[in-house]
Amino acid sequence: MSKVVKHAVLDTELYADSVEWCPVDGNQHLLVGGTYQLNETEGRRLGKIRLYQLNDELGLDEVWGNDCPGILDMKWNHCLMSEETTVLGTADADGSLNLYELKLDSMGLCQFASAHEDSIALALDWSHYKENVISTHIAVSYSSGHVCVFELTNSKLELKHKWKPHGFEAWITAFDYWHPHQIYTGGDDCLFRGYDLRITTNSPTFTNRAHDMGVCSIQCNRNRDNILATGSYDENIRLWDTRKIGKTPVSEVHVGGGVWRVKWSPWDRNHLAAACMHNGFVIIDCSGEPSAIVEYNEHDSLAYGVDWCYSNAKSVGFLLASCSFYDHKLSLWEWETNKSDNCNS
Find how far residue 124's CA is from the centre of its chain: 8
Chain segment 223-244, per-residue pLDDT in tens: 999 999 999 999 999 999 999 9
Q: How far is CA 332 from the centre of its chain?
A: 17
Q: Determine the Cα–Cα distance for residues 262 and 283; give it in Å rounded to an integer.
A: 9
The amino acid that residue 112 corresponds to is: F
Amino acid identity, residue 72?
Answer: L
* Tens of pLDDT, residues 286-320: 999 999 999 999 999 999 999 999 987 677 799 99
Any idea which of 6-10, 142-146, 161-165, 196-200 has the lowest mean pLDDT? 196-200
Q: Which of 134, 190, 185 is nearest to 164 (CA)?
A: 185
pLDDT tops 80 at residue 335:
yes
- Structural domains of the chain, ranges and CATH numbers in brackets: 4-10+37-49+75-294 (2.130.10.10)
- The three-class DSSP label of residue 343 is helix
Per-residue confidence band for 209, with pLDDT thresholds at 50, 70 and 90: very high
Q: Are 67 and 47 in contact (CB under 8 A)?
A: yes
Q: To 5 degrees, how large is the angle CA 177–CA 265–CA 336?
A: 175
pLDDT for 80: 76
Quickly state the pLDDT bin for 154 (edges 50, 70, 90).
Answer: confident
Q: Which of 41-45, 113-117, 337-341 has the highest mean pLDDT?
A: 113-117
HEC assignment per residue over 10-75: EECCCCEEEEEECCCCCCCCEEEEEEEEEECCCCEEEEEEEEEEECCCCCEEEEEEEEECCEEEEE
N residues, the chain: 345
pLDDT at site 295: 97
**pLDDT recorded at residue 200:** 79
Residue 153, pLDDT score = 87
Residue 23 to residue 21: CA distance in whole angstroms: 6
pLDDT in tens, 50-107: 999 999 999 999 999 999 999 999 999 988 776 678 999 999 999 999 999 999 999 9
**pLDDT for 20 beyond 90:** yes
**Residue 284 Cα distances to 49, 80, 107, 230, 254, angstroms:** 29, 30, 34, 13, 11
Q: Across residues 180-190, what is the average pLDDT? A: 96
Helix (H, G, I), strand (E, B) or coil at 342: helix
